[in-house]
Structure 1
């Protein structure tokens, strides 16, 4: 059987082809699955989508009309999929419920230290042979407080690194993680975490209850010299409100690997185009902000696990099995 995989990067393509080599052929395309590209899947029973795919009801109906019966999403998040429509159509939808939490946690720390120690500014200067230290003053992390919003596997990994730095730990989640408690984490309400933390890192999923959990009120609760890092989902932060606070001169630094309007921008080369998104354009201009293009998961280890799970999900579908990765069982 030939499988069509959307949104495949050049690094990912040989790994996907090798993983499916023994059982199936895989056709890899760079374009993301959307209303415009869904007709490409006509005749493919199994389609694999990437994290930035738009699987709304219209896309799902187009896929179904073309013969697609199974969608294997190569990501953990699935807020981009209309599961109600998928279930009504009898389509099987799977995701990757787990991959290396260290990839994202380590990258979140990379962003935190990049803004704290002004790494991007320093690198740009030295490329011009400007070796002055003015404006590069950072802070020790030891003895300061890290606030972790969401203490699942990734949040726990982030907390372990913070503990290694010698930081105090505050946590917020619907349930307490015993491993985080063992690190000395104190679970508190969200407002206290925001008010007392020097570094705040977001590791919660994007749900109706967490959408824009960092809104204008939350931002105003934070310290003026706090560092904010988001490597989870862009919709967790009200970006317009964040820009307003940055314009007011607040925050030591902000590191963002995700952006709430990233679809159609991230993973693409827009260097020769005018940027229509005024909020994103303004955000990137702040010297204390580092924006990366949703790459926190992008390690050999994590991508390898994602692909291996995708192969297993396809095998489960063809054998009529369900697993913890199954979001929508076939009718």
Structure 2
């Protein structure tokens, strides 16, 4: 099958080519939009990433040029109108898991860098300023860690926190049976907000989780709490987060995702002035650590993404069942 790959980046191409098998794959660095959909003319399948637009109008154009299959090189699928795809007869599948450890470990790395003032320490060392006065952090051991979403990534994060000796709370409508072995206590959302010293988000973005962390949530959190988001930017209301940070309502934020990231991330903008005021405010805060949606970026994860992407295409081509095919009816939380 011929596969057209949108939003292709050099870091992933060797992994896709290794797993391609007999499939013919063509790359473009351009994102899928209404204007670029016609680039896939003559193909049966496309592969897209999180910054691509698979809304109803785009899907209709893709269907008109003969696209029957869309594979997502991601777990999240909030950028796809699944109901419209189903109505058009377009099959859609994601990568339900690749390396949950990649994202979980990145979340922990961000926490420790922010907590232990690693970036500030390096800057001071380069200035030959060896005072420690501004570098005090806290032990994660003994702290209460709240985890929102206990799918594979959330559970991988929980295991690391268990190793640190932290107490773990969780909020998820679907209780993971593995949680009891880690002494994870499922609690109401408000309880998690009120008791947690650290909160890490591992849920998908959908109608139930959009702006889950907003004004009311931040008002209930501890002033010393650090929020980690390696899931989807839209789960957090950015203006509410900025207000909480700027008014010392919370202690800090580690963000690998950002609500309006599609206009910024995965691009070279060195010669441009970013006009996003909220983003520049976040970037200016010393209590905020931002990375550019790179939590998934490990060799193991890229191998898993490429392999599942190509195996999905092969299964569709052979008429086999595709267990990771998506419908418009998806679970609320436990998919990350």
Q: Which residue of 2 aligns with 1:13?
A: 13
Whole-angstrom distance in 2 between the partners of 1:187 and 1:308? 34
- Once the two structures are TM-superposed, the CA of residue 276 in structure 1 deviates from its matched residue by 1.7
Q: How does 1:170-181 map to 2 (within 5 A)?
A: 170-181=169-180
| Runs (4+) off by over 4 Å | none
SS for the counterpart of 2:42 is coil
For residue 61 of structure 1, give the secondary structure of its aligned residue in structure 2.
helix
SS of the aligned residue for 2:203 comes to coil
Alignment of 1:12-161 (within 5 A): 12-20=12-20, 22-161=21-160
Whole-angstrom CA distance in 2 between matches of 1:124 and 1:13:
35
In 2, are the aligned partners of 1:118 and 1:288 still within 8 Å (CA)?
no
The alpha-carbon deviation at position 250 of structure 1 amounts to 3.2
TM-score, normalised to structure 2, is 0.94
Q: Does the aligned pair in 2 maintain the 1:151–1:173 contact within 8 Å? A: yes
RMSD over aligned Cα, in angstroms? 1.5
Structure 2: any 5+ residue segments left out of the alignment?
Answer: 329-336
Question: Match of 2:266?
Answer: 267
Q: Is the 8 A contact 2:218 2:249 kept in 1?
A: no
Aligned residues: 328
User: What does residue 275 of structure 2 align with?
Assistant: 276
1: CA distance, partners of 2:133 / 2:226: 20
Distance 2:160 2:32 in 1: 36
Q: Which residue of 1 aligns with 2:334?
A: none
Runs of at least 5 residues in structure 1 that lack an aligned partner in the other structure: none
Q: Deviations over 1:88-122 (max 9, x none)?
A: 22111111112211111111111111110112222
Q: Find the residue that maps to 2:111 and give its secondary structure.
A: helix
Aligned equivalents of 2:13 and 2:121: distance in 1?
A: 34
Give 1:169 shift: 1.1
The whole-number CA distance in structure 2 between the counterparts of 1:31 and 1:130 is 45
2:219–2:249 CA contact under 8 A, matched in 1: no
Question: Is the counterpart of residue 213 in structure 1 residue 195 in structure 2?
Answer: no
Tell me, yes or no, if the aligned pair for 2:316 and 2:322 is still in contact at 8 Å.
no
Shift of 1:263: 1.1
TM-score (norm. length: structure 1)? 0.95
Give the superposition deviation at 1:328. Answer: 5.2
The worse-fitting range, judged by mean Cα deviation, of 205-214 and 173-182 is: 173-182
